[in-house]
């Protein structure tokens, strides 16, 4: 255990590296690394440390899915196509004519009127 965990010190951005360095220095000693290499058979090489059964294919021990799906989905999860109404030629013509009339009757704004006062 480190001093930070014993004293219940909160690890934050400003003290993370200090506590990380302390923990790393105490964990990565030559004796710890050598012991880990020896126990895994890396050095000295020992092919019998890990049994051959560990390299066998996984065996399926169940016949059911881990998270079975419900027999039917709730209606909220079933996608429904959205029908977009297609306007008729008469509606499009009317909309087009109304837009043109609005452009003709719209007041003309000069450049000086468009300029707004700067925001503070």
119 has pLDDT over 70:
no
What are the residues whose beta carbons fall under 8 Å from the beta carbon of 15, sequence distance 6 or more? 9
* Higher pLDDT among residues 36 and 78, named by residue: 36
90 has pLDDT over 60:
yes
Gyration radius (Cα) of the chain, Å: 37
Domain boundaries, the chain: 1-49
Averaged pLDDT for residues 9-17? 91
30 has pLDDT over 90:
yes
Characterise 39 by phi-psi region: left (phi > 0), alpha (psi -120 to 50), beta (else): alpha
81 has pLDDT over 90:
no
* Higher pLDDT among residues 88 and 77, named by residue: 88
**pLDDT tens digits, one per residue of 46-77:** 999 989 888 888 777 777 666 666 667 667 77
Is the pTM of the predicted complex or chain greater than 0.85?
A: no
pLDDT at 65: 66
pLDDT band at 31 (very low <50, low <70, confident <90, very high): very high
What are the residues whose beta carbons fall under 8 Å from the beta carbon of 68, sequence distance 6 or more? none
């Amino acid at each position: 255990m480190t001093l930070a965990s014993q004293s219940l010190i909160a690890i934050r951005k400003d003290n993370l590296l200090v506590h990380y360095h302390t923990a790393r220095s105490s964990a990565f000693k030559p004796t710890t690394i050598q012991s880990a290499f020896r126990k895994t058979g890396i050095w000295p090489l020992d092919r019998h440390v890990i049994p051959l059964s560990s390299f066998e294919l996984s065996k399926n021990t169940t016949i059911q899915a881990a998270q079975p799906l419900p027999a039917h989905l709730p209606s909220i999860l079933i996608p429904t196509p959205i029908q977009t109404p297609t306007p008729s030629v008469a509606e499009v013509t009317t909309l087009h004519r109304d837009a043109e009339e609005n452009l003709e009757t719209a007041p003309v704004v000069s450049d000086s009127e468009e300029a707004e006062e700067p925001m503070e």
